[in-house]
A and B are shown apart, each in its own frame.
Chain A
Amino acid sequence: MKLVPALLLATLSGCAWSNPANRPLWSSFEKHLVPEQDAAFYACLPLTVPAGLVAVLLDALLVHPVQVTDDAAGDAADLWRELHWREEYYTELGFLPLRALGTPVVFVGSWFGRSLFDIEPRESRDPAVRAAALAAVAGARRAEWLAFFAALEQGAAAPKPPAAPPVEWDDELGAAFDHAHRTLGARGRFDLLCAAKRLGLHPWLADPWLGLRDPDPVVRYLMLGDWREGPPPAELRAALLSDENEMVRARAAVKLRE
């Protein structure tokens, strides 16, 4: 009965073995040690066939699993990237034990998955392929942000912003952001500003007081409630402290006191 799981594993690892990149020993053996000429090819078959089978087994059970160890480690390390200690101190601390427990689980799961199935490596070692992959990610993320701005402008109710900021902020993104900010209503502007703040978009980094200058008092009030960017310029502070809206004035007095 113990043979069944072993056979199942061997069959599954065939998925990984189907990709030539995952069978270096076999490829090398076939390229260098199998004779080309017919007579020698057939004459050597009694030797090459068992050696080939050994190469298959070594590729499936040893070489490829070792090859994917760094990718599995990278997958596990992903749990520890992009921690926002300054903004989300307690959240990061709360998730700390889960991350610690999850790290070996993710490593082992990823290692098994990558050993058995043909899963794309985390990043190609070929610089050209890596550059193309990075460009594809940057393009996809840029498209997501443009779609988010468009969804806001079309009046979608609280569309979900992309999970990560654009890889590079360019003129087209800047124009789309500015256009959305100029034309949206108060609710849309608030969603836009929240997304810009949360994900550190370029317009927010360049002008974190954008929300405090919003024409709508509700937006000013809400942005003040979450205000942690330090004191705004003196004239903006003075304007908020003498805001026409009583609630904004009251909140500014609490949040912007010196």
Chain B
Amino acid sequence: MQVPSHGPIVLGLLLLLAAGCAISEHDNRRTLNALDLHLSPESAATRWMVAPLALPVGVAGLAVDAAVVHPCCVFDDAWGDTTEWLWTSHGESRFRRAVMVPLSALATPFLFAGDWLARALFDIDPRLEDA
């Protein structure tokens, strides 16, 4: 069976589109917010003049936020979710915890990866302890 050559492109576009959900939130655009805060021209005339240079900078900032900065910033939240769901005792007996250890170990990478991917792609509130 032949794999369609445009498959990865479609997947990439879908991922970018989904990541658009995350970076539609102001707080998830750290690079762009920093650029807006420190490098925005004050006057409208300057804004027009530097637009040809600023446009690729803005697009690159958006791409960096979507593909690098935001995904990196949600590592700790994904790890927090994983440890809370799998490795934090919720009043179970000692024996039950011992039985669950291998299962938790098995589930940890999957839960962490899934949680991280979801947080990287969609606008999910940060964990309260990190807020």
Contact = CB atoms under 8 A, between A and B. Distances in A.
Q: Do A and B bind each other?
A: yes
Interface of A: 85-98, 157-158, 198, 226, 228
A93 B40 contact: no
Contacts of B36: 87-91
B113 interface: no
Instruction: Say whether chain B's binding surface is mostly helix, strand, loop, or mixed.
Output: helix
B108 interface: no
Interface string B13-43: 0000000100000100100110111011100
Contact of B131 (A88, A97, A158, A228): A158
Contacts, number: 61
6 contacts: A86-B44, A89-B54, A91-B32, A93-B55, A94-B32, A157-B131
Given A90-B36, A93-B51, A98 B20 contact: yes
Contacts of B128: 157
Given A90-B32, A91-B32, A157-B131, A226 B37 contact: yes
Contacts of A92: 58
A228 B40 CA distance: 11
Contacts of B44: 85-86
A98 B23 CA distance: 12
A86 B47 CA distance: 9
Given A93-B58, A94-B61, A157-B128, 14 more contacts: A86-B40, A88-B36, A89-B41, A89-B47, A90-B32, A90-B35, A91-B32, A94-B59, A94-B60, A94-B62, A95-B58, A98-B62, A157-B131, A226-B37
Nearest to A98: B20
Contacts of A85: 44, 47
